[in-house]
Amino acid sequence: MPDEGGIGREEAKKRLERAGKILLISDIDVKSKNIFLMYKQRGSIE
């Protein structure tokens, strides 16, 4: 049973199908979470 305010497994699956996936490949030695945060800020980089 999902936590209050959360979504269930089926709902998460539906949302993921709609949103899609992004594959980020990097050769820098940084944790994946930090790479994702840099990607989110790419507007200020590009």
Report d(CA 2, CA 27) in Å as an integer.
37
**pLDDT score at 44:** 57
Residue-level pLDDT at 32: 83
- Would you give the end-to-end CA distance of the chain in angstroms? 42
Other Cβ atoms within 10 Å of 36 Cβ, number: 12
* Token pair of 18 as six digits: 């709609």
How confident is the model over 1-46, as pLDDT tens digits?
Answer: 545 778 899 998 888 888 877 777 778 888 888 888 888 887 755 5
Q: What per-residue confidence (pLDDT) applies to 45?
A: 52
Give the pLDDT score at 19: 82
